[in-house]
Structure 1
Amino acid sequence: VSPVVHVAIEPRAVRNVLLSLGIGSAGGYMFYRWHMPLPWMLGSMIFVSAAALMGAPVRRYMPLRNIMIIVLGILVGSFFTAEVFKQLVAWSGAALIMLGYVAVTTVISLAVFRRIAFMDRTTAYFSSTPGGLGVMVIAGEQAGGDTQQIPIAHATRVFLVVLCVPLYFVFAGDIDPGAVRPVPGSVTGYPDHRETLILLVCGLSGYLIAARIGLAFSQFLAPLILAGFAYALGWVQTPLPAPVITVAQIVIGSAIGTQFRGMRLVRMFRPAIAACIATAIMLVIAAALARITAPWVGIEEQTLLLALAPGGLAEMSLIAISMNADLAFIATMHILRITLISGAGPAFFQYVRKRSR
């Protein structure tokens, strides 16, 4: 029996998944009532992670998470139009800034993990990239790295970025909390049967393409591209309903929180502290670059900061949508960052290892 089937039929696993979603829903609702930024994702993430660290048997169900990733891909794809594709050349300056940002923050974070967490070179390298959680864990394991410390480092990074970026815009950026509340969607309007069928085809085809490609972020990227074409060509014009987007945020936030289950505080202390320091440095550099280079590239400072922030593609896209920022630009920059890290990161490590022998 495959692991997925086992999770689907084992009663205890089902209860644990439902417990996670229940805690996540409660956290999202509490954050919504408290007028917190991006409440459904941040609330579910914080409540589930707290429960996980306290020993609650929370668990994520990967097929459900993957479905929500596909939904988010379709959601982000709905923001791409023909005009967006014409802007790609104009974004070349921002792309160069992104490349430099990835290189500089990786080098600095590598030193942080080596000196504070006392990681070996392999583990430190695959923990230090500003992205690529899934790819870096797999590649790090193949290269002989510590498969417990690498996920801790990346999960901590994603957690802190998703938590801190919206709060930064509220408390330091002088933005009203209402500007970063729920992700907008169609409250009363729903896609008709034809549009629903097209979106289902985009999602299913994207999933099949993602399974074929095998890249860690392709489950998000493939539906994004297909849905982007559907919206750009005018085949679909109705946005996804707000309830669908809310459910997606709860599932994604809860899934992030469950990654802290079973982690002994002593075991995770050093890599987590190092990850906090490295993430803080990444965010400071991103904020400084956004402040300095935004006038040069002709992009708003807030938008450029969201594009540079080293969070997950789906999570940062949700934050961008909630702030009514230029999602097409932000998603494009994050795709560039993750593609660079996923493709060049492991290859560069192998190159350096061979040269050092």
Structure 2
Amino acid sequence: MRLFGYPSSRFALLGREAVVIAIAALGGALFATLGMPAAWLSGSMLLSTIVSLIRPLPALRRPWFDSTMLFSGTILGSAATPEALAALARYPASLAVLLVGVAAIMLATGAYLRHVARWPWIDALLAAAPGALSTVLAIAQAKGANIGRISVVQLFRLLVLVAFLPSLMQATGTSAGAPAPVLTAVGPSTMLGLVMAGLLLGLSFERIGLAAPLMFGATFASAILHGSGLVEGSLPQPIQIAVQILLGSTMGGRIAHIPRKELRGLFPLAIGGFAVSMGVAFLFAWPAAWLADVPYASGMAAFAPGGLEAMAMLAFAMGLDTLYVGAHHLVRFVVIGLAMPLVLMRIKGEKPGS
């Protein structure tokens, strides 16, 4: 049967995908109403996971994922404002400690998952990557890694950070800082130019075999345009929310398709991985905060292995030095984005996601 020139099965598929997206949007809206940081991402992921565990939902098709990666990169690149880039020059010693800390977090947490859980190194290192969740998911998709269990470890860490880090920072003391700059929304023509620039660079990255090319292409194109001052502002808020909903839906659906027995076994590993990551991160945060002459609470937020958006929102809410926190998370995102594909290219001899 055909409707309006299209097979009815196509309309049925679109209808099922609309239900999946609507469920994710409901979870994000609930978290946003409760005032949770990173609400649209974590809320959509959590409700999608819960519903899928009750009754598995169909996965969104590849074009949805590719579009999400393209727009995610465009949004993330907008954080590279001239002010944020100028802040990098004020914290050279702290940023040097950050680079060592990122490597230490990944090696320690990756070794834990490798030797305790017996995961392949690809899965272990992707799960251990501190923050840059959307980047990790894009690389996992491109490398054929076990994106479900990687998401469990990553999202457990993010949700615990969001829930408990503010109390931990209050216990250590905070200082009032300048509010984070609010980016205005770009116009339709500028938005089109940003997305097309990211798409062209992403296709170029794809030709040279870089993992997650659309994500990295869009990120670097957007960062160059914003950092040079040619573009000011980010994508409109409704589009940012839609991107987070789609990403949360993807993550929730992947987790839900993990066998129940395996999923139950992942939670102890997620707790252990979280403890290792946080212990190493906060160990490096102390000398970094001392070298930069900022409160230790700011160092904790800057080194906490969570997403850039979530940590920036927490820093703003706690009155911390948002430029310090944002600059460190931006550098970490770029380092992970550049280093992970190169590191994973050298890991051979194992079947990813086994």
Query: Which TM bucket (shorter chain)?
Result: 0.7 to 0.9
Q: Which amino acid aligns with 1:287?
A: F
Q: Which amino acid aligns with 1:199?
A: L
Q: Which amino acid aligns with 1:257?
A: G
The answer to whether residue 237 in structure 2 is matched with residue 242 in structure 1 is yes
Q: State how far apart, in whole Å, the 2-side matches of 1:301 and 1:60 are.
A: 42
Deviation at 1:259, TM superposition (A): 0.9
| SS class of match (2:234) | coil
Q: State how far apart, in whole Å, the 2-side matches of 1:43 and 1:56 are.
A: 18
Q: State how far apart, in whole Å, the 2-side matches of 1:215 and 1:303 are.
A: 34
The answer to whether residue 346 in structure 2 is matched with residue 336 in structure 1 is no
Q: State how far apart, in whole Å, the 2-side matches of 1:136 and 1:197 are.
A: 28
Aligned to 2:60: 60
Deviation at 1:184, TM superposition (A): 6.1
Residues 1:195 and 1:300: Cα distance change in structure 2 (over 3 Å): farther
Say if 2:202 and 2:218, in contact at 8 Å, map to a contact too: yes
| Alignment partner of 1:206 out of 184, 201, 209 | 201
Deviations 1:83-141 (A, max 9, x none): 54455565553454344334444444355335643x2xxx34333322245546876x7
| Alignment partner of 2:265 out of 261, 267, 270 | 270
Q: Which amino acid aligns with 2:339?
A: L
Q: Which moved more, 1:24-33 or 1:9-18?
A: 9-18
User: Unaligned stretches of 5+ in structure 1?
Assistant: 1-8, 142-146, 177-182
Deviation at 1:246, TM superposition (A): 1.2
| SS class of match (2:338) | helix
Aligned to 1:291: 286
Say if 2:94 and 2:292, in contact at 8 Å, map to a contact too: yes
Aligned to 1:34: 34
Say if 1:152 and 1:271, in contact at 8 Å, map to a contact too: no
Q: Which amino acid aligns with 2:39?
A: P
Residues 1:167 and 1:109: Cα distance change in structure 2 (over 3 Å): same
Deviations 1:278-315 (A, max 9, x none): 1231123213322343222456645544554445xxxx
Aligned to 1:317: 308
Aligned to 2:16: 16
Q: State how far apart, in whole Å, the 1-side matches of 2:298 and 2:169 are.
A: 12
Q: Which moved more, 1:29-38 or 1:106-115?
A: 106-115
Q: Which amino acid aligns with 1:40?
A: W
Q: State how far apart, in whole Å, the 2-side matches of 1:209 and 1:103 are.
A: 28
Say if 2:197 and 2:218, in contact at 8 Å, map to a contact too: yes
Q: Which amino acid aligns with 2:330?
A: A
Say if 1:25 and 1:44, in contact at 8 Å, map to a contact too: yes
Identity of aligned residues (%): 18
Q: State how far apart, in whole Å, the 1-side matches of 2:343 and 2:98 are.
A: 14
Q: Which amino acid aligns with 1:344?
A: V
Q: State how far apart, in whole Å, the 1-side matches of 2:284 and 2:187 are.
A: 44
Aligned to 1:3: none
Say if 2:114 and 2:124, in contact at 8 Å, map to a contact too: no
| Alignment partner of 2:147 out of 148, 151, 160 | 151
Aligned to 2:113: 113
Residues 1:302 and 1:333: Cα distance change in structure 2 (over 3 Å): farther
Residues 1:214 and 1:56: Cα distance change in structure 2 (over 3 Å): same
Q: State how far apart, in whole Å, the 1-side matches of 2:188 and 2:140 are.
A: 40
| Alignment partner of 1:280 out of 275, 278, 282 | 275
Q: State how far apart, in whole Å, the 1-side matches of 2:114 and 2:226 are.
A: 46
Q: State how far apart, in whole Å, the 2-side matches of 1:15 and 1:210 are.
A: 33
Aligned to 1:259: 254
Deviation at 1:269, TM superposition (A): 3.1
Q: Which amino acid aligns with 2:73?
A: G
Q: Which moved more, 1:84-93 or 1:54-63?
A: 84-93
Q: Which amino acid aligns with 2:286?
A: R
Number of aligned residue pairs: 320
Q: Which amino acid aligns with 1:44?
A: S
TM-score of the superposed pair, with normalisation by structure 2: 0.75
Q: State how far apart, in whole Å, the 2-side matches of 1:76 and 1:192 are.
A: 17
CA RMSD of aligned residues (A): 3.5
TM-score of the superposed pair, with normalisation by structure 1: 0.74
Deviations 1:200-225 (A, max 9, x none): 33233233234334433442332222
Residues 1:116 and 1:229: Cα distance change in structure 2 (over 3 Å): closer
User: Unaligned stretches of 5+ in structure 2?
Assistant: 1-8, 130-135, 175-180, 317-321
| Alignment partner of 1:173 out of 169, 174, 190 | 169
Say if 2:109 and 2:273, in contact at 8 Å, map to a contact too: yes
The answer to whether residue 160 in structure 2 is matched with residue 164 in structure 1 is yes
